[in-house]
Amino acid sequence: LSSLPVPSFPRLTETVRGRVRGAAAHFGFERGADGDPPAARLVRLLDAFEADLVVDVGARAGRFGGELRRAGYRGRIASFEPLDVPRRHLERAAAQDDAWSVLPYALGDGTGEARRLDELWEQVVAPGERAFLKLDVRDHASRVLRGAGEHADELTGLQVRTSFAGPQADGLLFDEALTLARGTLGMSLMSLVPGPADPSSGRLLRCDLVLFRKDAL
């Protein structure tokens, strides 16, 4: 029996590896070159820039907030989610966390039913808090930032989902987001969180930009 050849299943192996990587990414444990998941890298940046409030816009069921907590972030979280079903999951995730609040609003520039962040600023941000804004709202990111008004200049940092130009572009384009964050908000790029890639070409389709104000150090 020992002389029999050992069968090889390269396709099966790659499938299993792909599923493991996908599951790791789903739960926030996809690791970068430094060996840490994105949430852990972000928590280090939040600590370095002394950000003690994360405003999570488009929070859905609370995955991002949960990842931050598991990575060791102990500051406040304010999660915005207007849709009833994901918000119920979000409220359950935050129920035992006194430093995690849930707000049932869509944010934007005040058009339609969306609320402006500057109208809610004093309700969300306590005096002296250093706020980090996380946006997962696809093509509404620019509207949310416009809705922050003059308070946008008070943000310590920003994480925003972007896409790359092409037929599958979805939401704020990478170059537009970088220009907006650098030029209008005066922030510098500190990290990238890669998103999905085109399975046929390997071309990256989306990524999150993580930016902070250097003068906040």
How many degrees, rounded to 5, is the angle at CA 205 between CA 188 and CA 58?
A: 65
pLDDT tens column, 41-91: 999 999 999 999 999 999 999 999 999 999 999 999 999 999 999 999 999
* Cα-based distances in Å from 190 to 158, 187, 198, 214: 10, 9, 25, 10
| Half-sphere exposure (Cβ direction) of 125: Cα atoms closer than 13 Å | 24
pLDDT tens column, 131-145: 999 999 978 999 999
Residue 9 pLDDT level (bands cut at 50, 70, 90):
very low
pLDDT at 31: 52
Residue 22 has pLDDT above 90, yes or no: no
pLDDT at 27: 40
Residue 4 has pLDDT above 50, yes or no: no
